[in-house]
Each structure stands twice: as C-alpha cells, then as structure tokens.
Amino acid sequence: MKRNTRIHLAVIACAAAIHTLAPTTASALDAMTKPPAETRTDQAPATSIHDFVGYDGGFFLKDRTGDFSLKLNAQGQVLWALTAAQEEDGREIETALSVPLARLNFKGNVFSKQITFGFQTDFGNGNASLKDYYVDFAFIPKVLQLRVGQWIRPFSRQQITPSSKFEFTGRAITDKKFNAGRDIGIALHNDYAKSPVFEWVIGVFNGTGEKPWFEGEVELDDAGQPDGVTGKFTNVPDVFDPALVARVGFNTNKLNGYSEADLEGGAPRFGMGLNGVVDLDADNSNDGHVRGTIDYMFKAYGFSSTGAFYAATAQDGLYWKNQGFGALGLHVQAGYVIAQKVQPVFRYALYNASGADNALHEILGGISCYFRGHNLKWQTEAGGLLQQDGPAAQSDIVVRSQLQLAF
C-alpha cells in the first residue's frame, strides 16, 4: 500500500514538472527556430519621405504604389554670338547676347507604370511655345509601345539627341536643311530613345511641323480698305497632309547613343541607324518629297565621333510620283574628353541642293568645359560658313560661346 502511494506521488510530481516546464521548453524551441529579427523576411521594408519626394536626375514626386509619378527638369542656355558676314564692301559684324533656350520638362506616369507622358515648354528668346506633349502606352514595356502627341519626329540621330547633350552649341547645318522637326502624330516603337541593342520606330504625322501659322481673313470697310483681321494661329492643317517616318538601328556595349561626347569612358561602343521620311503631299501643294539618312556614333576611352549622310528628293510637277533630285548632305564631328572635364572638338558639314558647284560648307572647331557633365558646361567655338556659287564663293565667320545649366 505504501509502495503504491509512493508511485502515485512520483507520477503526480512528474506531471507537475512537465506542466511547469512545457511553456518554457516551447518558448526555447520557438527562439531556436525563429530567424533573428534583422534577417526576417516577413517585415515590410523601411520607407522614408525621400523615397517619394526628392532629386534623382530631376525633382520627383511619386506615390507608394509607383502608379503615379512626376519628374521636373529645367534647362537654360545663355549664348554670345558674333557673325562677320561677307559683303561687297567688306564684312558686316553683328554680335549679341541671347537666351536661345529656357525649358521646363515634365515626365511621369499616371494610373499605371505602363502609361507615361511628357510635357515640355520653351521660353527662349522671349517667346513661349509648346515643344512636346505626348502619352505613351507600354503594351510590352521596352518591346512594343504606342505614342500619341507632339514630339521630335524620329529622323536622324542628331535630331533625336536632346539639345542639352551636344558637343557644340547647336546642331549642324545639315539638320536645319533636312530635319523632320517636331510634329503631331502617332507611332509604334520600342523605347528607341534609350538606345536598346535593336531600336525601331514607325509613325504617321501631320506633316506640318510644330510652328503655328495664321489662318484668317482681312475685313474691309465700305471703301474697300482693311478694317481688321479675324482668325487664329494654329499648327493643325485643314487637309491631312501625312508624313510617314521610320527608323531602325542597333547599338553595342550599352552605348548611350543620344548623348554626344564620351563622358562615361570605357571600351569601344558603336551604333548605327537608318531613317526615312515620306511627305505625301495630300493637299496638292507640290511639296511632296522623300528624305533618307544613315547615321553612326562611336565612343571609346574618351574619344567620340558621330555623323550622317543625307539625301532628299523634290517633287517636280503636279503629282507626287514626279520626284527629282533634291539635295545631298553630310556631317561628321569628333572630339576627345580629357579627364572628363575638357573636350576639343571638330565638325565638318556639307549641304548641296543643286549641283557640285553650289554647296554650303560648315567648318567649326571648339572647346567644351564640363563642370558637371552636360548639366553644367561652357562651350566656345569658332569657324566659318562657305557658300559656293559657281566659281564664286562667300564666307561668313562665326564665333559663339554658350553656358548651359540643366537639372
């Protein structure tokens, strides 16, 4: 009997010990199996105000989801220019300071990361104008996108390159003669302006460009004298006069193909593009034509070179199919960046509209000083424009110096 009592007491004692130790043991096991606090993966990442507002290549705002964002960039240029134009009795010298460009650029996305937009306005030379307004729909990001609005028609590398990324104070004379400019249109593309390995874009545009013209009429009084003007400025044509634009190209080794000067340095990188524009002359204004260009860019260890060859037809007659010789052109430029700060650079350009004995030549040499890359730089250049006219020739001397601030 006493033995049974001892057994019962021992069982009761063991049960009490197990009951007492169970929570402690479970806690110990949890502590052993639970990952340390700093390595847990179920915690949300820490966020701060700087994740949603700040500066990263531009001032930005965005929400927590990333479905809404806005980035603001600004760019301004102050230019001093001297031109010594050749006249019969000597040279006529003109010089002036100007602000040729003062732009605000807004970019971002709305409702989704796949719907992006761009809006740019310019106040240069005291005039306000709309440069860009477009919306991009990314069906397959960086593979298939649709853009609708107004922007630079994708014709030639130098035309697509932003004005903030030049080695000189402006584009070559060939760009002024052959450029497609900005226009209102619609295009399919694969984010070509970011220099993917293979880039392509094809679009249809109004064909009238960005600059507005006046549409109206002059009102006459009873005596038949002008008594007022009614109308408006517009860049929307009464008759759709479409221009078809296409570009294909390739880039190697992550080439930044739309930024002149090799500020990045590094191993050789190369890019090439083919472009075409067909103006259809749907309004029968006898200005239909075809333009084409092949361009390249090469960068390696601070050295860079870019250039293009241009050709254009001109409508010769009432019908678009009557195309004749229009013009030929080329430009090439090269420079070398020393210590990522100073770059000597050279350019030659040729425009020929009516035969070998009538051509316009541009020869420029310059120095660019990069204080903060392209964002803060001072560029000075000098050279000449030589206009051939048969056996005669006329030359103009140009000197320019420009400060740019972009952020």
User: H helices within 167-240, ranges in order?
Assistant: 173-178
Distance CA 101, CA 118 (A): 18
Residue 100 within any structural domain of the chain: yes
| Whether the Cβ atoms of residue 323 and residue 313 lie closer than 8 Å to each other | yes
How distant, in Å, are the alpha carbons of 39, 67, 68, 180, 398 from that of 45? 12, 19, 20, 48, 58
The answer to whether residue 247 is domain-embedded is yes
Query: How many domains does the chain divide into?
Result: 1
Whether residue 345 lies inside any domain: the answer is: yes
Q: 353 versus 225: which is more confidently predicted?
A: 353
Q: Is 238 left (phi over 0), alpha (psi -120 to 50) or beta?
A: alpha
The burial of 276, by beta-carbon neighbours within 10 Å (0-12 exposed, 13-18 middle, 19 or more buried), is given as: middle
* 3-class DSSP assignment, residue 164: helix
pLDDT of residue 3: 44
Question: Tokens 């409702």 appear where?
Answer: 111
Decide if 6 is inside a domain. Answer: no
Mean pLDDT lowest for which of 145-154, 209-218, 271-280?
Answer: 209-218
The enclosing H or E element of 86 equals strand 69-87
pLDDT (0 to 100) of residue 21: 39
pLDDT higher at 209 or 7:
209
Q: Is residue 180, in this structure, part of any structural domain at all?
A: yes
Which segments of 297-401 does DSSP mark as H helices, in order? Answer: none
Task: Give the pLDDT band (50/70/90) at residue 197.
Answer: very high
Classify residue 28 by burial, with Cβ atoms within 10 Å: 0-12, 13-18, 19+: exposed
Q: How far apart are CA 54 and CA 71, in angstroms?
A: 10
Domain membership of residue 40 (yes or no) is no
Would you say residue 226 has pLDDT above 60? yes
Task: Say yes or no to pLDDT of 57 above 50.
Answer: yes
Residue 232 has pLDDT above 80, yes or no: no
Domain membership flag for residue 195: yes
When pLDDT is cut at 50, 70 and 90, the band that residue 289 belongs to is: confident
Decide which of 370 and 229 is more confident. 370
* Distance (Å, whole) CA 213 – CA 327: 26
pLDDT tens profile 327-366: 999 999 999 999 999 999 999 999 998 666 778 999 999 9
Residue 23 has pLDDT above 70, yes or no: no
Q: What is the pLDDT of residues 132-159, one digit of tens each?
A: 999 999 999 999 999 999 999 999 999 9
**Mean pLDDT score of the chain, rounded to an integer?**
85
Q: What is the pLDDT at residue 29?
A: 35
Name the residue with higher pLDDT: 391 or 258: 258
In angstroms, the CA 323 to CA 321 distance is 6
Closest CA to 305 of 341, 340, 348, 351: 348
- Would you state the pLDDT for residue 24? 42
Highest mean pLDDT among 26-40, 67-81, 177-191, 210-224: 67-81
Instruction: Decide if pLDDT at 35 tops 90.
Output: no
Angle CA 291–296–298, to nearest 5: 165
How far, in Å, CA of 355 to CA of 346, rounded?
A: 26
Per-residue confidence at 389, pLDDT binned at 50, 70, 90?
confident
167 closest CA partner among 386, 367, 404: 367
Amino acid at 162: P
Is it the case that residue 186 has pLDDT exceeding 70?
A: yes
Instruction: Identify the three-state secondary structure at position 50.
Output: helix
CATH of the domain at 369: 2.40.160.10
Sign of the dihedral defined by the CA atoms of residues 261, 152, 144, 296, in that order: negative
In angstroms, the CA 173 to CA 349 distance is 7
Range of the structural domain that residue 293 is part of: 76-406
Q: Is the pLDDT of residue 190 over 90?
A: yes
Residue 55 lies in a domain: no
Can you list the positions of beta strands (E) in 259-302?
269-279, 289-300
Q: Which residue has better confidence, 64 or 16? A: 64
Instruction: With cut-offs at 50, 70 and 90, classify the pLDDT of residue 28.
Output: very low
User: Is 256:195 a contact under the CB 8 Å cutoff?
Assistant: yes
- Helix, coil or strand: residue 331: strand
Which of 64-78, 88-102, 237-251 has the highest mean predicted lDDT (pLDDT)?
64-78
> Residue 241: what pLDDT?
76
What per-residue confidence (pLDDT) applies to 41? 46
Give me the sign of the Cα torsion angle 282, 283, 288, 290. Answer: negative
